Amino acid sequence: MRFALAGRSVHATLRADMSEEKNDDELEGDEPAGDELLEQARRVEFVPADFVARAKLSELFEREAPFEVDIGSGEGTFILTMAERHPERNFLGIERLLGRVRKTCRAVARREFTHVRMLRLEIAYALRYVLPQESVSVAHVLFPDPWPKRYHHPRRLIQDGFMEAMHGILVAGGELRIKTDDEPYFLWMEKVLAKAKGYERLEWPEDLDEYPTTDFEARFVAQGLPIYRARLRKV
């Protein structure tokens, strides 16, 4: 692993190293799959019938169950682990990169999960236009890109508009749970969260939901780096 460059955080360097280890284009074909598995994997991906009208939960899942969303699901480690531990819940992963979506879909199909779907779409658009209103029990935002350069800050996920859209899709009492390794980004988040209307802050106990460790988190913890957390509830 290279040393952190001047003006670049250790966290950002670790992220870059992890990205270099697996190119997203390579993920599309990194595992052999038969025709039947590929067909099952295609059914895991949710493609809205109408991208300008909110979907119905019945279009995503055949059964009614508490609905959780993994926002920026990456290679699927978190959502797959949660689905394994909580078969009584429904899960949707939202991810923009095609290779990651396809890899997760194959993993879901291989496990024969019927309570996990994937949506390949920009997060902001999905929250504001596609996900059903007042449907989400828990939204997980784990290690979003910190976009450390000042002129990239408008690209950060946690913004006023994100909090407004999130409030609309959460059920009453629904939760937003955020983790990051990047302290400057967390300080930015704290300012956004403090002025967001319709939420209350909650403590994050160590045993909360037996929270799975993501690939990013495992690497950061192994380096002795701190993890910052925020937990909010819709009121």
Domains and CATH numbers, the chain: 10-234 (3.40.50.150)
- CA nearest to 48, candidates 144, 160, 126, 151: 126
Quick one: pLDDT at residue 181?
92
Catalytic residue flag (residue 145): yes
Instruction: Name the pTM for this structure.
Output: 0.85
Quick one: pLDDT at residue 208?
81
* 157/145 Cα distance (integer angstroms): 8
* 11/123 Cα distance (integer angstroms): 23
Tens of pLDDT, residue by residue over 56-85, are 999 999 999 999 999 999 999 999 999 999
For residues 125-143, give the mean pLDDT: 97
Catalytic pick among 145, 160, 181, 209: 145
